[in-house]
């Protein structure tokens, strides 16, 4: 399997909307173009809201993956 590794990682499990998106956005701002951020998010609104918002901000989403009770999101900074 070709596993994509993130250059950076944040655990946002238990962080509610919209704070989870804000934290994702702030993290992305510290990163360079083309770098990959791995985010862990709760099931339900967090994963759907953050995915939609990150896309609207113009970043590329490489992977969305369910792992047990949470989700993993791989974002390539644009």
Partner 1 sequence: MTKKIYKDNELAGLRTGGIIKQKQKDYFILRTRIPGGHLKADLLKKYSTIAKKYGRDYVHVSTRQGIEIPWIHIKNIPKLLKDLKKLNILKGACGPRSRNLIACPGMSVCRFGFVDTEQLAGKLDSVAFGKEVPKKFKVAITGCLNSCAKPQENDLGFQAQGEPEVDLSKCIGCTLCAKVCEKVCLRGKRKPAIIMDENKRPIYRKKNCFFEGDCIRVCPVNAWKTKMVGFAVYIGGKVGRFPKFGVKIADFVKESQIPKIIRNTIRCYNRIAKKGERFGEALERQDLEKIKEEIL
Closest distance to partner 1 from the beta carbon of 11 (Å) = 20
Question: Cis omega (within 30 of 0) on the bond before 18?
Answer: yes
Say whether 27 sits in a helix, a strand or coil.
Answer: helix
Each residue 9-48 as x (binds partner 1 by CB under 8 A) or -, in order, gives --------------------------------------xx
Say whether 75 sits in a helix, a strand or coil.
Answer: strand
17 is catalytic: yes
H or E element at residue 46: helix 45-56
**Contact footprint for partner 1 (CB under 8 A):** 47-48, 51-52, 55-56, 61, 63-66, 73
């Amino acid at each position: 399997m070709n596993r994509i590794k993130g250059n950076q990682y944040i655990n946002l499990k238990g962080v509610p909307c919209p704070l989870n998106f804000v934290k994702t956005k702030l993290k992305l701002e510290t990163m360079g173009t083309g770098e990959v951020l791995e985010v862990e998010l709760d099931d339900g609104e967090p994963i759907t809201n953050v995915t939609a918002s990150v896309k609207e901000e113009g970043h590329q989403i490489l992977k969305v993956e369910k792992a047990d009770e949470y989700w993993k999101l791989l974002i390539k900074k644009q």
